[in-house]
Amino acid sequence: MSPAREAKAPAPGRTGPRRARAWMLAALAAACCAVGRSAPEVPEVQVKAAFLFHFTQFVVWSEKDFPSPDAPFVIGVFGPDPIDAALRPMVQGERVGGHPLEVRHLARPSEAADCNMIYVPDGSEEAFRSARTGTEPVLTVGESDRFLATGGMIEFFSDHSHVRLRINLEAARASSLQISSKLLRVAQVVTPSSLTR
């Protein structure tokens, strides 16, 4: 069972918004610690996949960002990365608003055009730079130490064997994405001026 399911998530539409947000925050905080020495049985790729899934609950996209009311919410993964396989069972049957979640493998930059979120594993930055426009409402998540400096929004990094987050809030705002203050509280928020270029 994936980390996103172990906490027994309430069924969509059957719990109040406050309770749902509280559950998501608890699950996100648990994911932060899941790679630590106290839980060596949880692979790092599963923790990162759980983060990607939970980001859909802590970032707000406008309904106008979708071509139709029933269009899928697409999470694209660049390159042959194992997070693709870890993420698929987590999103199965889940929705963002009325939009079914879908994971797509991205073999080339042009395939990122319909994505709402893009994951860029280490080594795929060149494809990301070719795909990004800078102002489209697409949440970009990566793991290299240069990711935020190249316009990425959320970066995974390791801190004493724990997966942590850095967020380039200005990049998110430039793309008209609203990141919840709850997510910002568990991340390091950086500004472009603080990034080494």
Q: Are strands 162-168 and 188-190 parallel, antiparallel or unpaired?
A: parallel
Model pTM?
A: 0.78
Q: Is pLDDT above 70 for 120?
A: yes
CA 132, CA 114: separation in Å to the nearest integer? Answer: 12
pLDDT at position 25, please? 52
| Predicted confidence band of residue 160 (pLDDT cuts 50, 70, 90) | confident
Cβ atoms within 10 Å, residue 185: 10
Looking at residue 52, its amino acid is L
Looking at residue 138, its amino acid is V
Cβ atoms within 10 Å, residue 194: 11
Q: Which domain holds residue 84?
A: 3-194
pLDDT at position 16, please? 41
Q: What is the CATH number of the domain that holds 40?
A: 3.40.50
Q: Are strands 73-78 and 117-120 parallel, antiparallel or unpaired?
A: parallel
Which tokens go with 143?
């793991």
Q: For the chain, what is the domain count?
A: 1
Top pLDDT among 89 and 194 is at: 89
Q: Is pLDDT above 60 for 30?
A: no
* Half-sphere exposure for 105 (CA within 13 Å, toward CB): 10
Token look-up 């139709």 returns 68
Q: Is pLDDT above 90 for 34?
A: no
**Phi, psi (deg, nearest 5) at residue 116:** -100, -25
pLDDT tens across 77-94, in order? 988 789 989 999 999 999
